[in-house]
Amino acid sequence: MNTMKTLVIGGTGKTGRRVAAKLKERGVPVRIGSRSSTPPFDWQNESGWSSALRDMQAVYIAYAPDIAVPGAVATLRRLVAAAKREKIQRLVLLSGRGEEEAQAAERVIQESGLEWTIVRASWFAQNFSEGFLLDLARAGEIVLPAGSVGEPFVDTDDIADVAVAALTEDRHVGQLYEVTGPRLLTFSEAVAEIARAAGRDIRYVQVPAEAFSAAMLQQGVPADVIWLLDYLFNTVLDGRNASVTDGVQRALGRAPRDFAEYARQTAATGVWSVAT
C-alpha cells in the first residue's frame, strides 16, 4: 500500500470527509482542502492552490458545487497545471454519470500525464440525510420534480472506499470506475424505504420542474444552485442512468451497499426524526 501524502479537495464534503478519515485510518498523511483549512483551498481563489498542493503527492478532487457546472473543465485544467508544477504524482477525480461536462472534465485528468483514476458516481444516497433533502424529510414531505425513472443510488462510503483504494493501490491507475448501488429505485420508492426505516410518514410528492424552480427562487435559493438542480433533475434523471454497474465490485471485490441498509443505519441515528 502506498502512503503518499494526499490533498483531499472537498475534504469537508460528503465524500471528501469520508476519504480523509479512511486515509488517516490507514496511516496516510492527509491535508484537507477547504476554504477553512490551513492552507486554504478555494476553487474561486487560484492564488492559493499552490500552497495547498505543495509537498503533496496525490490529490482527491471533488469539484464544488458540481463538476457539471459551466466552467468546471477550464478550472480543472488550471488545477492540473498547478499540480504538475508542484510535482503531484496521482489524481483521483470524483465525476458524475451521464453528464457531458463531467466527461469533458474526466478527459482533462486522463490527458494530464499524471497517474489517474476516475470515480464516476450515481446519485448519492446520503443526499437524503446530509444534503438539501434532509429538512424536507424531517418535515415529512419530499417535493421534487423527479418522475418514475429508476436511479441506482450509491452510498458515499462505497465511493470513498473506491477513492481510497485508488489513492493507495497502484493497480487502479488508469481505471475508470462507474459506481452505483445494486438496484434501481425511483425517488418515490427511495422515500418509501426511508419512511419504513424511520418508522414515520414521509411522503414523496412529484411537481413540475417549473413549479420546483419557482419555489426554490421564492425561498431565496441562489440562481446558480437552482440551475444545477434543474440540470440534475431534468437531464441526468431522464433515464440515461437507469442501469446498475459493476464499478464497486471491480474496484473492491465486493458488492455495493444496498439503499435499504443505508436507510436502516441512517434512521437509527435519529436524523430523520420529526422536525421541531
CATH number at residue 74: 3.40.50.720
Structural domain total, the chain: 1
Mean pLDDT on 129-150: 92
pLDDT of residue 229: 84
Q: What percent of the chain has pLDDT over 90?
A: 82
**135 inside domain:** no
**Per-residue pLDDT at 117:** 98
Whether residue 119 lies inside any domain: the answer is yes
Let me know if residue 108 belongs to a domain: yes
Name the amino acid, one letter, at 30: V
Proportion of the chain in helix, strand, coil states, percent, rounded to 5? 45, 15, 40
pLDDT at 231: 84
- Helix residue spans in the chain (DSSP H): 16-25, 49-53, 72-85, 100-110, 127-130, 134-139, 156-168, 187-198, 209-218, 223-231, 247-252, 259-267
Domain for residue 59, yes or no?
yes
* Domain-located, residue 225: no
User: pLDDT, tens digit, for every residue of 260-270?
Assistant: 999 999 999 99
What whole-number distance in Å separates Cα of residue 30 and Cα of residue 5? 6
Taking only the tens place, the pLDDT of each residue in 174-224 is: 999 999 999 999 999 999 999 999 999 999 999 998 998 898 888 888 887
Residues 80-112: tens digit of each pLDDT: 999 999 999 999 999 999 888 899 999 999 999
Residue 198 lies in a domain: no
Flag whether 187 is in a domain. no
The average pLDDT across 61-89 equals 95
pTM: 0.95
Identify which has the larger pLDDT, 250 or 220.
250
Residue 41 lies in a domain: yes
**Could you give the count of Cα atoms lying within 13 Å of 22 in the half-sphere of its Cβ?**
20
The residue whose grid cell reads 496521482 is: 90
Domain around 45: 6-124+154-180+242-257
The angle subtended at Cα 130 by Cα 128 and Cα 135, nearest 5°, is 65
Is 70 exceeded by the pLDDT of residue 275? no
